[in-house]
Structure 1
Amino acid sequence: MYGAVVSTERVTPSIVRVVLGGEGLAEFAMPAATDAYVNLAIAPPGAPYDAVFDPRQVREEQPREWWPARRRYTVRAWDPASRQLTLDFVVHGDEGVAGPWAARAVAGDVLVFEGPGSGYAPDPDADWHLFVGDESALPAIAASLEGVRPGRPVVVRLVCDDAAHEIPLSTPGQLDLRWLHRRGAADPGRLLLDAVAALALPAGRPDAFVHGEADEIRGLRRHLLLDRGLERSAMSCSPYWRRTMTDEAWRQVKADFVASMDADLG
């Protein structure tokens, strides 16, 4: 499957929004999830194959140096009427693969992907919701907030560089939102953990979505499960990336890191 770039927008200094459309999305069907995702296949510069390609065929026929980079991105929005797909990319200069692609994208560029798949949607029977994360989790959190049942308490703690990196968020629920800024913080890596530890959690059964930087998520998971007594079944929790590691290096160790988080629980 593929989409052609319809438009791009610099939403914040570090987020580029790309809207895709065209005949390559004719078979796209959104799952019943707010954290739906697509698996991008981004060809290296100068790749000896067409802009629209089959990732599996490329891996079978081309040497490794021409294989497309694979990245998973949350669907920020899908408009079934216009058949347009919106993806938000975190961009840190020339670092990584997908971010630089989004920063350079212009109308007509093609993005190949597989999916969509799905992982999470707000539990309609939960008494309250907790969303915690950083820029990498922001598309999923923003989409999920829109799917909360009206009137349900929704606690959101998000970390970003500074106020220029904040975006408007809305929900039918009762929103308790606080942005935390790395810039000027004594220990930016503890901002989310300290903010969640300071919360007086609402009563009743929770539904938690906790995603972002690996070491931060590890500490949050331990705190919520051991110190706050949340059930694992009530939490969607995943480390999306790890500070000081490239995307490729993180992909190679992520499975072991996730497995090791269980050792924290004794």
Structure 2
Amino acid sequence: MTADTLVFDEHDDHDHAPYVEDYFLAKTIAVERLTPSMIRTVLKVDGGERLIASGHPDEWVRLALRPDANTPVTIPVLMENGKWGRPDGSQHCPSRPYTVRNWNPVTCEMVIDIVVHEGGVAAGWAINAEVGDIVGICNPEGRFWFPKTAQWLMMLTDITGLPAVGRVLEELPIGFPAIIHVEVPSDDDRQQFNTGANATITWHACHGLKPTRPGHTELPRIAGNIHALPDGPGYIYIAGEAKAVSVCRAHFRDVLGFDKKRIDAVGYWIEGQARI
């Protein structure tokens, strides 16, 4: 997609084409440390010509990895009864959801940016990823929904939502007003985006465990410091720790009186739990 291809919903509702189940193997063709907290992987998707993009710029796939060092990645297959399964008895692979930072249907190459953190299944793989590594993915799903009448966008995310922020900004129409707040671990985790939108990005270097407070995120505090919204109908997208994004949503809905139907709050992870 290019900067002028983000689709606005014609009917201001959430009706979209039904999800089509499918699975793919993909070979890692590039690995890059973007920032101290983010690793970029580029995957060549085998059979990617049949992959069905969701149409949402925050779309995600489940990234399937080896169950152990001696077991290769396998994926379900479509059986004669029309269901997906593992008739060969192959082992299920651990998987985690990740945003599709970019998808090129011509080359069948997919970019996935992975946040580095201790103990994560996919993060652990990304830290040691090498060209040639095989992973599994599925057809993507998404949530970002842009009402046709929206005149502005606000995005509030922690670092896990940063790949979605980057893709959305790159796909926004030229000159479209966008107000972005991103919580990152450090100033070195800021990123540059190629966007034609009229975007204002505020970086908050406060993500992660700190002795002065519990938890990893200050998204509710950041949201609470937003006391006014632009005039006219807009759209607010919030992504990050599940409880935190719920608090943020309540602030915009209950304190600022914003239409709850124009807020999408997506829990990318849960404090103290593995992201599965």
| Partner residue in 2 for 1:171 | 195
2:75 equivalent to 1:53: yes
Q: Of the two structures, which has the highest relative contact order with CA contacts closer than 8 Å and spacing of 6 or more?
A: 2
Change (3 A) 1:186 1:114: same
**Which residue of the other structure, out of 58, 68, 76, is the alignment partner of 1:35?**
58
In structure 2, C-alpha distance between the alignment counterparts of 1:120 and 1:70, rounded to whole Å: 22
Residue ranges of structure 2 left out of the alignment (5+ in a row): 1-23, 78-83
2:258 equivalent to 1:230: yes
Change (3 A) 1:31 1:212: same
Q: How far 1:58 sits from its partner (Å)?
A: 4.4
| Partner residue in 1 for 2:13 | none
| Partner residue in 1 for 2:8 | none
In structure 2, C-alpha distance between the alignment counterparts of 1:185 and 1:175, rounded to whole Å: 33
2:224 equivalent to 1:197: yes
Say if 1:53 and 1:112, in contact at 8 Å, map to a contact too: yes
Single out whichever of 9-18 and 184-193 deviates more from structure 2.
184-193
Correspondence list, 1:236-251, <5 A: 236-247=264-275, 251=276
2:44 equivalent to 1:21: yes
Q: How far 1:67 sits from its partner (Å)?
A: 2.6
2:171 aligns to what SS in structure 1? coil
Q: How far 1:60 sits from its partner (Å)?
A: 8.5
2:60 equivalent to 1:68: no
2:131 equivalent to 1:107: yes
Change (3 A) 1:71 1:189: closer
1:26 aligns to what SS in structure 2? helix
Q: What amino acid is the match of 1:14? A: S
Say if 2:53 and 2:139, in contact at 8 Å, map to a contact too: no
Deviation by residue 1:183-208 (Cα, 9 ceiling, x = unmatched): 78955867433333333311011111
Say if 2:54 and 2:141, in contact at 8 Å, map to a contact too: yes
Deviation by residue 1:121-154 (Cα, 9 ceiling, x = unmatched): 4444311100000111111111112222222221
Correspondence list, 1:118-129, <5 A: 118-129=142-153
What is the TM-score normalised by the length of structure 1?
A: 0.82
| Partner residue in 2 for 1:254 | none
Q: How far 1:61 sits from its partner (Å)?
A: 3.0
**Which residue of the other structure, out of 40, 63, 86, is the alignment partner of 2:111?**
86
Change (3 A) 1:80 1:238: same
Change (3 A) 1:212 1:79: same
2:248 aligns to what SS in structure 1? helix
Q: What amino acid is the match of 2:255? A: D
Q: How far 1:5 sits from its partner (Å)?
A: 0.5
Q: How far 1:47 sits from its partner (Å)?
A: 5.5
1:61 aligns to what SS in structure 2? coil
2:178 equivalent to 1:151: no
Q: What percentage of residue pairs aligned between the two structures are identical?
A: 24
Give the total of aligned pairs: 243
In structure 2, C-alpha distance between the alignment counterparts of 1:135 and 1:88, rounded to whole Å: 11
Say if 1:189 and 1:216, in contact at 8 Å, map to a contact too: no
Residue ranges of structure 1 left out of the alignment (5+ in a row): 252-266
2:141 aligns to what SS in structure 1? strand
Change (3 A) 1:198 1:190: same
Structure ranking higher in helix proportion: 1
